[in-house]
Amino acid sequence: MSTSTQLPDGWTWAKLGDVTDATLGKTPRRRDYRSEGLHRLMKYRDLQSGQIDFSVTKDAYVLDDPMILKGLRELRPRDVLIGASGHDGSTVGKKLAIVDQLPDGEQVFFVGELFRIRPKNTEVDPRWFLYYFSSIDGYKALQKAVTGGHLTNGRARQIAIPMAPLKEQRVIATLLDTLRQHERASSAHLAASRYAMGRFCQAVLAAACSGRLTADWREERAALESGSELVADVTGTRRSVLGGRSKPVAPVGSAQLDFPDSWRVASLDSLSLRITSVHATGRPTTVVVLAHSSWRRMFAGV
């Protein structure tokens, strides 16, 4: 077998089906599913962020019947799983994971929406396939084996894969394991940082909308326009535009608000020219607010 890509010395090309037991899983009949048992089913949704999460799928067991179990495909530690179907054929190959360990005391099978890769002998490191198919070239190779939105056994087994010597496979896979661990740690730190930043932003917004954020700013500026003056000015402009056709709605729930003495509660309606609600057409709510010079000065930080 030959390909257009030049490989390093000592490497070779091999068909996936020649070096691995590569196969799609089998999905039992719906009536054979159970909510508990000793024979678990691994599904597409159980592949989460490059790992297998056995807590995702509920009612993921199959009836303890030798005839039913005989037709299923069993998982073993170190098997590599690839998502083999989806709503769109482009999702094939997007999810991959290696089976690190299986639940104690349970036999685990995988369904037809998953494709398993298991080396035929110890001369191949299973991580090699995990990382190759995680690469751009590996994903493209899987996509070429997709028919009708699904990966097929026949075409997948014909995929040409570059094979390094076993020692080199292990060196490369170990380096990639380390990088993946760093990636996961970084992702966890980023998630924690986003959460902390969100909490911080909410705290700042709460302080801003209660007047606490600008308490010192107000003390340094004694001659400030009061909220009452601002609202009167804005509602006067509103009246001059709309005339007597629209009386503003009074604010509701102001008794529960705690704000500085110089502030004033006003309804959005009294500060707006027009408010339209969402209708069956799906149009978004539109608010046209009066542009007032005092507001512009406030947001400019004067």
The per-residue pLDDT for range 278-290, each reduced to its tens digit, is: 455 554 444 444 4
pTM, rounded to two decimals: 0.67
| pLDDT for position 11 | 96
62 vs 41: CA distance, rounded Å: 7
The neighbour count for residue 72, using CB atoms within 10 Å, is: 20
Same domain, 159 and 232: no
Instruction: Look at 255 and 283; give whichever has higher pLDDT.
Output: 255
pLDDT single digits (tens) 22-41? 999 999 998 999 988 999 99
User: Has residue 240 been placed in a domain?
Assistant: yes
| pLDDT for position 137 | 95
pLDDT single digits (tens) 83-114? 998 777 889 999 999 999 898 889 999 999 99
How, if at all, do strands 107-110 and 114-119 pair?
unpaired
193 vs 284: CA distance, rounded Å: 32
List the domain range (segments joined by +) for residue 259. Answer: 223-299
Same domain, 106 and 243: no
Same domain, 150 and 61: yes
| pLDDT for position 300 | 42
User: Has residue 227 been placed in a domain?
Assistant: yes
CATH of the domain at 128: 3.90.220.20
User: Has residue 160 been placed in a domain?
Assistant: yes
Same domain, 252 and 145: no
Element (H, E) at 258: none
- Which of 130-139, 161-170, 230-239 shows the lowest mean pLDDT across its residues? 230-239
Alpha-carbon Rg for the chain, nearest whole angstrom, is 32
- Residues forming beta bridges with residue 24, ordered by sequence position: 115
Same domain, 38 and 120: yes
Length of the chain: 302
Same domain, 249 and 158: no
Which contacts (CB < 8 Å, 24+ apart) does range 7-13 have? 7/162, 8/164, 10/164, 10/165, 10/168, 11/162, 11/163, 11/164, 11/165, 12/162, 12/163, 13/160, 13/161, 13/162, 13/163
User: Has residue 50 been placed in a domain?
Assistant: yes
Greatest Cα-to-Cα distance within the chain, rounded to the nearest angstrom: 89
Of the candidates 149, 164, 179, which is a domain's last residue? 164
Q: What angle do CA 110, 85, 153 make, to 5 degrees?
A: 70
User: Has residue 290 been placed in a domain?
Assistant: yes
Q: Check pLDDT > 60 for residue 302.
A: no
Same domain, 150 and 30: yes
Instruction: Look at 87 and 268; give whichever has higher pLDDT.
Output: 268
Task: Classify 168 as helix, strand or coil.
Answer: helix
| pLDDT for position 231 | 84
User: Has residue 213 been placed in a domain?
Assistant: no
pLDDT single digits (tens) 172-212? 999 999 998 888 888 888 888 989 999 999 999 888 888 88
Q: Tally the domains of the chain.
A: 2
Of the candidates 147, 164, 181, which is a domain's last residue? 164
| pLDDT for position 280 | 52
pLDDT single digits (tens) 228-248? 888 888 888 888 888 766 778
Shortest CA distance to 93 belongs to which of 162, 127, 161, 139? Answer: 139
